[in-house]
């Protein structure tokens, strides 16, 4: 699986590794690079990348701060030598779609990233008046925009693409982040805030249902 014709942002302060990734992805994509959180934030806002490869330990702070600094981030794959479960949980809670531990070959990283970048024709889905766009990371109800965090968007996009089906919290976690569930309370918390935000805009139109023993379900047509 390859990544082609995309606009990618690589935030990595190890210049040797940054060059290796640039050489690999730059042959088929438009690539921007940054070595600091500040520069990465600037490029994430100005260049509107389709995907971001993000290191966590940077000269001016933690890469995690990017999630708070930039709204509507595209899919973010964390590439870090920090392999602790706590760091992974924080990354996924902030909204990362994948967490890859160094060392990792560019080929494997491309495969992981390709799973996160949907083709344009599959990027937009509309159900019951709610429209989500995975490329632009936007959500709207009959044209009225709903502001979501990265994690809330990730969960909503998964549920709406499987409208009418129930999923337990651990199933949502494993489907969204492609790894064994670490903490289902993370999913429950995000769905709780997601429901509040949806109800504020969608009114009486209920979007997410819960059934004991079966989990959560986005209302089908």
Q: What is the pTM of this model?
A: 0.71
Angle between helices 169-177 and 150-160 (to 10 degrees): 100
Q: Cα–Cα distance between 157 and 95 in angstroms, integer?
A: 13
pLDDT tens digits along 129-156: 899 988 778 899 998 999 888 888 889 9
Is residue 118 predicted with pLDDT exceeding 70? no
74: confidence class by pLDDT, cuts 50, 70, 90: confident
Q: Under a CB-based contact definition with an 8 Å cutoff, are residues 156 and 132 in contact?
A: yes
Q: Cα–Cα distance between 211 and 152 in angstroms, integer?
A: 20
User: 165 Cβ partners below 8 Å, 6+ apart?
Assistant: 217
Phi/psi at 180 (nearest 5 deg)? -60, 140
Mean pLDDT, the chain, integer: 88
181: confidence class by pLDDT, cuts 50, 70, 90: low
Q: Are strands 76-80 and 30-34 parallel, antiparallel or unpaired?
A: unpaired
pLDDT tens digits along 52-63: 999 999 999 999
User: 161 Cβ partners below 8 Å, 6+ apart?
Assistant: 125
Is residue 177 predicted with pLDDT exceeding 80? no
């Amino acid at each position: 699986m390859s990544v082609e014709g995309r606009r990618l942002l690589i935030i990595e302060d190890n210049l040797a590794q940054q060059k290796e990734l640039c050489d690999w992805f730059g042959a088929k994509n438009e690539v921007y690079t940054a070595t600091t959180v500040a520069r990465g934030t600037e490029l994430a806002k100005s260049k509107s990348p389709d995907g971001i490869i993000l290191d966590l330990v940077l000269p001016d702070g933690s890469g995690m701060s990017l999630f708070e600094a930039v709204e509507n981030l595209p899919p973010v794959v964390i590439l870090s030598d920090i392999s602790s479960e706590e760091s992974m949980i924080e990354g996924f809670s902030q909204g990362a779609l994948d967490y890859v531990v160094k060392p990792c070959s560019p080929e494997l990283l491309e495969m992981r990233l390709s799973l996160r970048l949907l083709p344009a024709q599959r990027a937009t889905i509309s159900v019951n008046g709610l429209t989500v766009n995975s490329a632009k990371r936007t959500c709207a109800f009959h044209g009225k925009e709903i502001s979501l965090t990265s994690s809330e968007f990730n969960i909503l996009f998964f549920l709406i693409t499987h409208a009418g089906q129930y999923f337990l919290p651990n199933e949502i976690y494993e489907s969204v982040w492609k790894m064994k569930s670490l903490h289902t309370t993370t999913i429950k918390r995000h769905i709780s805030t997601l429901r509040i935000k949806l109800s504020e805009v969608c009114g009486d139109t209920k979007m997410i249902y819960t059934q004991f023993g079966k989990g959560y379900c986005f209302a089908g047509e």
